[in-house]
Amino acid sequence: MTSIADTLMERRAALITKAQEIATKGVTEGRDLSVEEQTDFDQMIAEAETLAKRASAIAEGEQRGRELEESFRSVTGRDPQKASEGKSSEFETWARNARVGDGYDIAPVRGAEARAIRNRGAETRDMSATGGVGPNGVYGQLWEYAVSTTQLLQAGVDIINTADGNTLPMPRATAHAATDGAAVAAHGAIVESDSTIDTVNLSVAKYGFLTDVPTELVQDVTFDLEGYIARNAGRALGRRISQVAAAAAIAGFTTAGVTGPVGTSTTLGSQTTAGQGSDLLVDLFHSVLNDYRNGAAWVMGDPTAAMIRKLKTSTGELVWQPALTAGDPDLVLGKPVYIDSFFATPAANAKSIFFGDWSALKVRIAGGLRFERSAEYHFGNDQVTFRALVRTGAVAIDPNAVKFFAHSAT
């Protein structure tokens, strides 16, 4: 498949060929170019230079997008590639020697793969400069921390990777078409049923992480410098992705599955009272259509999770159950639970528990992840500056897919 960058370069080559034909014609005829010919020549050369710059930028973005898509599709359990004994890692070499503006491309790891990395241990070596990790190990650490901070990404949200950040119009269904309940007689008219669809714009905003490291530390490092930077950058960017995704979920999933009765303004009520306690979770579970429950998951903040972990059924069993496989999320009513700090804590009228099919939440990452170094930014302080940038956005495209529990007003 021909990429956009290739197409632009083909156009550039065609323009240069035409410009050469104009110049050759003047030389062959032993004359200067006419005003019209000179104007055409200059315009073609200028446009060719512009196309080359655009093609270079797009090619870089496309490459980052391909790396992101490949990593999100990769199977779980991939081991980080280690550098050979006694040699610096690729990342460490870049951290010490990169020129101004040089970037280190890092691709993300899908949620399941990040859990597999955590199960094996985030550190696969001694905390020293002589061990080092290969590029897969670096992005594994960076995105492990980003994904662990952003558990919402593990709940089944749809990740969209794009080379650029132009606004994408997304179809949003507020009502789905359905067949009429009555059988259709021979020659009978079929009752029309149309979906109600509008569009919502999926745009992105830029978020960054910036840290200064003393030059002496970069040169004489005796601990895991790349792990330290990956840990901090991953957590910082992960929280921003989480904040954006959570805000889109809260704004887009607007249907209440259950509203708590009076007395549940900060709790789920008393388990000994019918219709309260774990009964409210059962009601929320079944408020979501069966079509959306097949791949459904719970999402909530830590205070809400702590409250549910203490709940028991009427027969004395804990509602919260440990995962069936180590490293997988815990379960409530047989469905996985994910924790995200940007969802509301239990309070009057608060929407503290969301349940449903999270593939209706589209989280976009534009242009991959940029990780860059500068020795000039804080030259006066003799510091090396590292920055990580991500452009992300999110929208919910099916308000029926996920519903929430709302606490009572009093």
Whether residue 298 lies inside any domain: the answer is no
Q: Is 291 helix (H, G, I), strand (E, B) or coil?
A: helix
141 pLDDT band, cuts 50/70/90, is low
Which structural domain range is residue 28 located in? 4-73
- In tens, the pLDDT along 149-198 reads 678 888 989 888 888 889 988 888 777 666 767 788 887 888 777 667 78
Query: Across the strands, what pairs with 390?
Result: 207, 369
- What does each C-alpha distance from 161 to 68, 79, 156, 238 come to in angstroms? 7, 24, 15, 16
Whether residue 95 lies inside any domain: the answer is no
One-letter amino acid at 91 equals: F
Q: Which residues 6+ apart lie within 8 Å of 165 measured at CB?
A: 203, 204, 366, 367, 391
Mean pLDDT lowest among 22-36, 185-199, 345-359: 185-199
Q: What is the DSSP string of 154-187?
A: GGT-EEEEESS---EEEEEEEE-----SSPPPTT
Residue 143's nearest CA partner among 128, 159, 127 is: 159
- In tens, the pLDDT along 245-274 reads 999 999 999 999 999 999 999 999 988 888
Whether residue 58 lies inside any domain: the answer is yes
- Using H for helix, E for strand and C for coil, what is the string for 344-367? CCCCCCCEEEEEECHHHEEEEEEE
- In tens, the pLDDT along 106-127 reads 444 444 444 444 444 333 333 2
**What's the pLDDT at 287?**
95
Whether residue 269 lies inside any domain: the answer is no
Contact (CB, 8 A) for 337 and 361: no
Whether residue 42 lies inside any domain: the answer is yes
Domain count across the chain: 1
Cβ count near 15 (within 10 Å): 19
Residue with tokens 């200059």: 42
Whether residue 256 lies inside any domain: the answer is no
Whether residue 60 lies inside any domain: the answer is yes
Whether residue 249 lies inside any domain: the answer is no
